[in-house]
Structure 1
Amino acid sequence: MSDQQTVGPVRVPPTEAAAPTTPPAVPEVPAAPRPPRRALRAVARWTAAVLVFGGLGTGTALAITSAERGDVPGLATEDDGRWAYPKLSLPALPAGSPRPFSEANTAEIHHADLRELLLPAPAGSTPDKALDGGWVKQERFLAEYRAEDRDELAQLLTDTPPRHIAARGWTMPDGTRARIYLVRFNSTAFATHVRDELRIGVAMRWPLAGAVETEFDASWKSPRAVEGVSSYVLTEKAPHGDAHTRQAYSLAGDTLALIVHERPGKAGAARIPFQQTVILQNQLLG
């Protein structure tokens, strides 16, 4: 990140003193009364309404900045371990299609291309060729789980079939391997049902391969930081094996996201970049 420059006050040289003059007497004019606050708020609301309705039918493309420091506990300095993600923006929607959590979209459906809602890889990462941001087969998603659990989970996805699965993965210079899966269902009810069947918690019904023993991340303070999106953030219990895994499930309307950071070695997957990844992905889903 580039350092911000601080511009100090500018000194203006004094002008030459003008000869004193006696201004002509001017009768005092009473100040015009200030408009009441209620009227000002009404004008602001109507202005916002005009801007909103003027944009309907032309698609939506909103900018998203990287997570603010206050969003992730512990972000206090520039060298806090965050990854350098590119500037994010929501993809344009088909004409007349509402955003997933707007009043006009009671079903909470994502009308944007699911692949365009995937978080891009940060600077310095090496892309995963198998998870390149496109569609993936159900078998690739199931490969994240233990072999002995895959048949059961596959049956759940047969009974509650997803419409699409999009995924992106990358590896950072410190060895952290990140994967994000977005699983979109035919309805919010289907996505919620799968979330419930996973029984996300300390004792996972279907734990990820290599991360059987988990616990909730007590440092996660943003379960509903993004309107409409609920997150469940877990970390592998210590002592872990040859690698340490952090994982999160985010439910956003008709879409269930699985976010995984896995890092080999005893140091473990860093907390701050993981929480940063979860927050930014949630912003794209919201």
Structure 2
Amino acid sequence: MSQPVARRMYDLTEPICLVNFFSEEPNEEMAALGFTSYWDGYFAGRSAPLGQAPAEVVHAAFYNFADGEVARHLPKVWATTTPEAAHAARERGCVAALRRILGPLASGADVARAADLLAAAATSAPTEGRVMYAALRALPLPTDPVARLWHAANMLREHRGDGHIAALVTEQVGGLEAHVLSALDAGIFPAESFGRIHHLPRRVLAELMAGLRARGLVDAEGRFTPAGRAVKDRIEARTDDLAQAPYDGLGKARLAELVALLEPVAARLRETGSQ
């Protein structure tokens, strides 16, 4: 079976987005705003397109943080900077990281063309039910090609994320439960050691795993049951389906061109781990 278009595009665009989490330049830009904590910068930068939304709203939009985690950072971060400045800093850091990693490739005509095609895809999908995607769509497209490439990839990441949340809700899988399923899918065992949840109190982790066992999604050891594997597979397939819309308008020729242009970009970023 051939790989879904949306999955192939995710594989090509995700390395572009990951510089925000793995490279130093975005952290440095956030530190220049006055943040001393990575997570303060994370919540300020990612939630910035929503404006000064309450922690409850950001918690709902992000979906996969434990109760109270968002509220430790919001609205506190807005005493340090503004949403506009936070988004600009995030963009500057990511663009600087991409330019460093990609080297001469960043200033070439191929990246500029890829940015235009990716932006065309990223601005073509319906926004209904896509909170994070719609928030980014409301921002102006950068004129710099590398910045436009990053912004378009970021829009597509949040578009996919919004759809992924819809798939999780349909399967009645909560945000923390989703981390467990993703950890097991990636071969991380025990799932409680996964970086996104390992810091949670043992009581919370024990209740999390007990709930998944009660639903028959993991076994006594904490590994996938056949039912759990089927749920995870359905979520991923549905996520791919819901992420397809941005690419439908490109047509086969432009989509094939975009894939060819992004392949060397993604390959270079994977070589460095997007850092």
TM-score scaled by structure 1?
0.28
Larger Rg: 1
TM-score scaled by structure 2?
0.29
Which has the larger share of helix?
2
